[in-house]
Structures are given as C-alpha cells and as structure tokens.
C-alpha cells in the first residue's frame, strides 16, 4: 500500500532557529501533498497544499513567509518553520493521495506519522 | 464542504462490536463518506470509504443509510488497539487530489 514517511518524528529547537520537516512518498509519486498542523486536544487543521514544481497554496491565517514549503520532486515535500517560536510548537502532519485505483476518485489520502516540534 | 456530526466520545468493551454513528444531513450526491482514525501521537489512518452501498474491508464495515444522511462505522470486535479518535469526513469526488477537512471526531475508549 501507499506509504508516506516523515522526518524527523520529533524535534526540539531553540526559539529563533529554523526547522525543516521532510515528507516523502515512498512507493508512489505525489504531485500534490497536504500539510496539516494539530495542537494538543484539537483536530487537524490544513495549513497548505504543496504542488510539485509550483508555489504552495496557503490557508487563510497561515504565514507563507514563516512556513516555507518546497515540493521539488514528485516524492518529496519539505516544510521549513523559520524563526520558530514557542507558539509554533505543534504536531505537523503531511499527506498525499496514494491510491490511483479504487480510491482515486474518492480521494483517499495517506498520512505520514507526523513530526512533533517543540520550541523552547 | 458539507459538515458531519459525531458524538464526542464512546466506550466499548474489548471483543465486543462497536457502532460509531455519523450524521451528514447536507451531503451532496457526489460526496464520498470517508472514515479515518488517529491513534495517539500518530498521523491519521484510512479506515474505509463508501458512496451509496455498504462496504466491508479487513478493518471495518461501513453502513450507509438509504438517504445517505447518516452512516455508521462498525468495528466487529473491538481490541485495545482500536482506541483512537475516529473521524467521519465527506470528501468531494475529484480527479485531482483534494484535502480532507477534519472535524472533532469521536474518541473511542476500549475497556479491557
């Protein structure tokens, strides 16, 4: 089945530094990947849609200069949290549509295991 | 996107069936009904999806009302590993990849 891998699974950094999170589709190509953020005890919120070879589309209220997304290949999208602050501490999850058969029209998404960011 | 309504929490005993309800009275004709679950500290996991007919797979069954305004996810024998937040999501059929919009879901607790 389709597998999405995220790295790192957890990271701790100092305030003001930048952190890069990688999202890879291991056994399929993904022209589109989605980045979500989840705060404790809350549901997932879509941050942005990452498109291979073009600029990402950000949801309202998400700062594109703070959350840099690069989707340079069909199997890799990266999210860089620039000048991270404690309020950026969260669980970041990426996803992609991996099923091109039965689930294609229904838009079944495969999710990574998530990356937990803690900013001190 | 059409909204879904789920109970905030449910409890089940281990090895008993669990029926997780979802109401989606504003569903459109091209909306698929998706179920995902999220175990603690993990990303969501696909469970099952359907359009009009009931569906079965190795993880669960999905029963869809005839008018499609509600559905029920059925776990036939709950195990402790099934404890998770279960999300019922309507997803518009699309040829290109489309994001999922998550609600608050149902927290399932499985009692030993």
Query: What average pLDDT is seen over chain A?
Result: 92
- Judged by DSSP in three states, B8 sits in coil
Asked if A43's CB is within 8 angstroms of B94's CB, the reply is no
| A5 CB within 8 Å of a chain B CB | no
Whether omega before A8 lies within 30 degrees of 0, making that bond cis, reads yes
Chain B residue numbers with beta carbons less than 8 Å from the beta carbon of A6 are 43
Contacts 24+ apart (CB under 8 A), A44-53: A44/A93, A44/B38, A44/B44, A44/B102, A45/B102, A46/B99, A46/B101, A47/A79, A47/A92, A49/B99, A50/A77, A50/A94, A52/A77
**pLDDT tens for chain B, residues 1 to 112:** 669 999 999 999 999 999 999 999 999 988 999 999 999 999 999 999 999 999 999 999 999 999 999 999 999 999 999 999 999 999 887 777 888 999 999 999 999 9
Q: Could you tell me if B72 lies within 8 Å of chain A, comparing CB atoms?
A: no
Nearest chain B Cα distance for residue A12, angstroms: 16
User: A35 in contact with B at a CB cutoff of 8 Å?
Assistant: no
pLDDT of residue A27: 86
Find all residues with CB under 8 Å of A116, minimum gap 6, and list them: A9, A10, A11, A90, A91, A92, B41
């Amino acid at each position: 089945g389709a597998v999405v891998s995220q790295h790192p699974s957890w990271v701790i950094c100092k305030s003001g530094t930048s952190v890069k999170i990688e999202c890879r589709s291991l056994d399929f190509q993904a022209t589109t990947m989605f980045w979500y953020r989840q705060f404790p005890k809350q549901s997932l919120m879509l941050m942005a849609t990452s498109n291979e070879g073009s600029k990402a589309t950000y949801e309202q209220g998400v700062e594109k200069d703070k959350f840099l997304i690069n989707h340079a290949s069909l199997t890799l999208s990266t999210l860089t949290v620039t000048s991270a602050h404690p309020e950026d501490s969260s669980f970041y999850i990426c996803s992609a549509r991996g099923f091109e058969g039965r689930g294609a029209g229904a838009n079944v998404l495969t999710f990574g295991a998530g990356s937990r960011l803690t900013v001190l | 996107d059409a909204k879904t309504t789920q109970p905030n929490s449910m409890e089940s005993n281990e090895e008993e069936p669990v029926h997780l309800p979802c109401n989606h009275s504003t569903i459109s004709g091209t909306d698929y009904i998706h179920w995902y679950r999220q175990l603690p500290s993990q990303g969501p996991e696909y469970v099952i999806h359907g359009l009009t007919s009931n569906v079965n797979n190795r993880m669960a069954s999905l029963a869809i009302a005839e008018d499609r305004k509600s559905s029920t996810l059925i776990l036939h024998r709950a195990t402790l590993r099934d404890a998770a937040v279960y999300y019922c999501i309507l997803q518009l059929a699309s040829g290109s990849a489309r994001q999922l919009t998550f609600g608050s879901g149902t927290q399932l607790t499985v009692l030993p």
